[in-house]
């Protein structure tokens, strides 16, 4: 376990070093000197990463000294030498503990800049049943947010005539929501007899969930010519238009191909502002992933291609069981969970699942 932890720390250190090199290269570009705000922000990020590297090096150094002292104890009978080695272990355990706390504090500060999350759900494999399951998940997260007294707002929803979900976007306005729901991203699989199945045969379908943090004061410059705008009427359950005025907005960012829709507000201007805010956060996230030398990997890891084999969790209705395949754990009482009682699953997943 100690060897594994050391390797994980070295991998993390390597990623941070790449991030620092990327930022240094960007800061060396003369075009940023004229933009004081962006230069200031990049400098802050550079200093933050540099501090994390220094802290991580101290932890690795302390772990190495602890390991060396433990080896001395195991290989010697000299009491004086053993006492010195034990003192060395105590000293470096304190150094490790202090720096681990400092690193956690720095990483929490990043989460402290999160004001809300955008939760996106789409059907995967399985046709109409996948759409129905996607809608069940969408309602499940709304109910969970309501139980937590979090403000949940439907930003965009597109449903089928049978009540399935073509795509749905939900904003949960609470800074704690990301910490709670960040491991929900991925392919969710359902095994059940669909309402549309007359022969009683069990079907397997999937839906994809993506959790995207919304940051405070995201500074992303989008030129007007980079955006393609479409206006349409807001729709309700079943796809019927609920407004006569085209107040809903769809924005497409041409350079990245990102499309964002918003129909939660009454006025077109408000929907455009909300869609633009989400778009900026998505572009910012891509930039952060580039910095981490991990372009789009976070989202790919979350949603994959929506195939059945890429599942993170299975909802098996005939056996009344939900299984998370990442931590190899199951829970009963699907109806209770699908109605928003997610606490046990979320806490168990947070406790045991540690992605790289």
User: What does the pLDDT look like over 139-166, one tens digit per residue?
Assistant: 999 999 999 999 999 998 989 888 899 9
Backbone angles phi, psi at 349, to 5 degrees: -70, -45
pLDDT tens-digit readout, 234-247: 765 444 444 445 68
How much is the average pLDDT of 86-109?
83
pLDDT at 313: 94
By C-alpha distance, which of 333, 338, 343, 335 is closest to 143? Answer: 338
Q: Which of 179-188, 201-210, 327-336 has the lowest mean pLDDT?
A: 179-188
Whole-angstrom CA distances from 18 to 14, 52, 290 are 6, 13, 10
For tokens 């606490």, the residue is 343
pLDDT at 275: 87
pLDDT of residue 88 exceeding 90, the answer is yes
How does residue 45 score in pLDDT terms, banded at 50, 70 and 90? confident
For the chain, the average pLDDT equals 81
pLDDT at 231: 84
pLDDT of residue 299 exceeding 50, the answer is no
pLDDT of residue 307 exceeding 70, the answer is no
Helix axes 36-75, 2-27, angle to 10 degrees: 160
Separation CA 94–CA 8 (nearest Å): 20
Whole-angstrom CA distances from 42 to 22, 38, 285 are 11, 6, 15
* CATH fold label, 115-356: Alpha-Beta Plaits (3.30.70)
Q: Which of 65-69, 188-192, 297-301 has the lowest mean pLDDT?
A: 297-301
Q: Which of 34-43, 170-179, 206-215 has the lowest mean pLDDT?
A: 34-43
> Per DSSP, what are the bridge partners of residue 332?
321
Residue 207 and residue 201 in contact, taking contact as beta carbons nearer than 8 Å: no
Residue 251 structure tokens: 């924005």
How does residue 35 score in pLDDT terms, banded at 50, 70 and 90? low
Residue 273 structure tokens: 């502002």
Dihedral class, residue 127 (left if φ above 0, else alpha if ψ from -120 to 50, else beta): left
Separation CA 298–CA 289 (nearest Å): 8
pLDDT of residue 207 exceeding 70, the answer is yes
How much is the average pLDDT of 58-70?
91
Taking the domains of the chain in order of start, what are their residue ranges?
2-111, 115-356
How much is the average pLDDT of 71-85?
89
pLDDT of residue 292 exceeding 50, the answer is no
Q: What is the pTM of this model?
A: 0.61
pLDDT of residue 84 exceeding 60, the answer is yes
Separation CA 3–CA 67 (nearest Å): 10
Residue 182 and residue 165 in contact, taking contact as beta carbons nearer than 8 Å: no
How does residue 178 score in pLDDT terms, banded at 50, 70 and 90? confident
pLDDT at 89: 92
pLDDT of residue 123 exceeding 90, the answer is yes
Residue 274 and residue 248 in contact, taking contact as beta carbons nearer than 8 Å: no
Q: Work out the angle at residue 161's Cα, subtended by the Cα atoms of residues 157 and 163, and round it to the nearest 5 degrees.
A: 60
pLDDT tens-digit readout, 101-116: 888 777 665 555 778 8
pLDDT at 43: 78
Count Cα atoms within 13 angstroms, Cβ side, for 140: 21
Residue by residue, DSSP assigns 170-183 as: EEEE-TTHHHHHGG
How much is the average pLDDT of 246-271?
86
């Amino acid at each position: 376990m100690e060897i594994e932890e050391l390797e994980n720390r070295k991998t993390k250190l390597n990623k941070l070093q790449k991030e620092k090199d990327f930022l240094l290269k960007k800061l060396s570009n003369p075009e940023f000197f004229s933009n004081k705000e962006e230069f200031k922000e990049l400098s802050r990020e550079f200093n933050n990463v540099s501090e994390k590297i220094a802290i991580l090096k101290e932890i690795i150094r302390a772990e190495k000294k602890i390991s060396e002292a433990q080896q001395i104890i195991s290989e010697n009978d000299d009491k004086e030498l053993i006492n010195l080695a034990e003192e060395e272990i105590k000293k470096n355990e304190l150094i490790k503990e202090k720096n681990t706390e400092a690193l956690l504090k720095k990483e929490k500060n990043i989460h402290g800049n999160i004001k809300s999350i955008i939760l996106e759900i789409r059907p995967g494999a399985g046709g109409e049943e996948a759409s129905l399951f996607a809608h069940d998940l969408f309602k499940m997260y709304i109910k969970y947010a309501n139980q937590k007294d979090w403000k949940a707002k439907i930003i965009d929803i597109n449903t089928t005539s049978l009540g399935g979900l073509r795509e749905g976007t939900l904003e949960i306005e609470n800074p704690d929501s990301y910490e709670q729901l960040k491991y929900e991203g991925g392919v969710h699989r359902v095994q059940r007899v669909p309402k549309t199945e007359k022969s009683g045969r069990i079907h397997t379908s999937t839906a994809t969930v993506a959790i995207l943090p919304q940051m405070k004061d995201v500074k992303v410059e989008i030129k007007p010519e980079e955006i393609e705008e479409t206006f349409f009427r807001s729709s309700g359950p079943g796809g019927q238009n609920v407004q006569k005025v085209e107040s809903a907005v769809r924005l497409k960012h041409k350079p990245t191909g990102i499309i964002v829709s918003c129909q939660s507000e009454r006025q077109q201007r408000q929907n455009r502002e909300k869609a633009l805010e989400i778009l900026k956060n998505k572009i910012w996230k891509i930039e952060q992933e580039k910095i981490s030398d991990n372009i789009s990997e976070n989202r790919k890891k979350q949603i994959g291609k929506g195939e059945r084999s890429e599942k993170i969790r299975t909802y098996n209705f005939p056996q009344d069981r939900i299984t998370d395949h990442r931590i190899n754990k199951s829970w009963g009482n699907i109806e209770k969970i699908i109605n928003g009682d997610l606490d046990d699953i979320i806490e168990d997943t947070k406790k045991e699942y540690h992605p790289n």
